[in-house]
């Protein structure tokens, strides 16, 4: 029911360059940042702690072949100082969910509200129920902007620099997310920088799904049109 999930006090994680594709079976959360954790199986404590700290999700694609076979493209459930950017969510029930988890029913002393969440440079399209949903409380200090919302049921979020009701002009929305020459996504994003882990270590996310460095002007979505210089993130990569 989950594709990728971190909870129980998970911290300082990067999820990037993945492809989540549901043909038949229903996926509840393609990406779950936080969740419901028992008070005996968490890192930290049960008061003034969160399910997830400093978790960043970028350059990922989530596609439901049949509408609604992915319930939530990404869910923030009791996350702090985390974000999602330059992702594409196609055909989910909801592109993004912000939920306050009922952790008190699992022995916590409080229910952690999402705090300091970034949602930028994403495409949310063909959502069956709506682009986003808030459950049991709005996030505190949500920074959501520079997204594209297209062909979603319900009412899209109101954001000053986001794009509405324009086809993103992918080569193919369910299989090839390179941008056509007339795509409104070109140059419509905003640079993402200053990402840090829980201990203050710096994270770099200025590259696209092909490991090409993004320049001063960012495109919305997973690919950078004008970049030419490749980037090696190093380390062990679990993706693709």
pLDDT in tens, the chain (240 residues): 678 888 888 899 999 999 999 877 789 999 999 888 877 777 777 777 898 999 999 999 999 988 889 999 999 999 999 999 999 999 999 999 999 998 888 888 889 999 999 999 999 999 999 999 898 889 999 999 999 999 999 999 999 999 999 999 999 998 999 999 999 999 999 999 999 999 999 999 999 999 999 988 999 999 998 877 888 776 544 444
pLDDT of amino acid 236: 47
Looking at residue 238, its pLDDT comes to: 47
**pLDDT score for 235:** 55
The model carries a pTM of: 0.93
Contact 86, 93 (CB under 8 A): no
Using an 8 Å Cβ cutoff, are 117 and 77 in contact? no
Rg (CA), the chain: 17
Using the Cα atoms of residue 54, residue 59, residue 65 and residue 68 in order, give the sign of their dihedral.
positive
For residues 237 and 211, is the Cβ–Cβ distance under 8 A?
A: no
């Amino acid at each position: 029911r989950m594709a990728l999930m971190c909870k129980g006090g998970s911290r300082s994680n990067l999820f990037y360059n993945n492809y989540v594709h549901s043909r038949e079976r229903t996926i509840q959360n393609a990406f779950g940042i936080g969740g419901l954790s028992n008070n005996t199986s968490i890192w930290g404590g049960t008061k003034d702690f969160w399910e997830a700290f400093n978790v960043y999700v970028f350059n990922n694609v989530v596609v439901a072949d049949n509408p609604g076979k992915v319930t939530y493209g990404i869910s923030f459930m009791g996350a702090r100082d985390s974000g999602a950017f330059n992702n594409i969510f196609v055909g989910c029930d909801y592109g993004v969910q912000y939920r306050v988890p009922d952790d008190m029913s699992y022995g916590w002393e409080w229910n952690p509200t999402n705090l300091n969440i970034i949602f930028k440079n994403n495409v949310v399209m063909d959502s069956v129920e709506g682009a986003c949903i808030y459950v049991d409380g709005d996030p505190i200090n949500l920074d959501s902007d520079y997204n594209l919302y297209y062909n979603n049921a319900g009412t899209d979020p109101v954001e000053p620099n986001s794009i509405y009701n324009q086809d993103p002009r992918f080569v193919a929305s369910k299989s090839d997310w390179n941008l056509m020459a007339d795509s409104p996504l070109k140059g419509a994003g905003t640079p993402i920088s200053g990402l840090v882990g829980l201990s203050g270590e710096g994270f770099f996310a200025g590259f696209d799904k092909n490991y090409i460095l993004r320049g001063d002007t960012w495109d919305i979505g997973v690919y950078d049109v004008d970049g030419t210089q490749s980037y090696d993130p190093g380390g062990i990569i679990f993706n693709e």
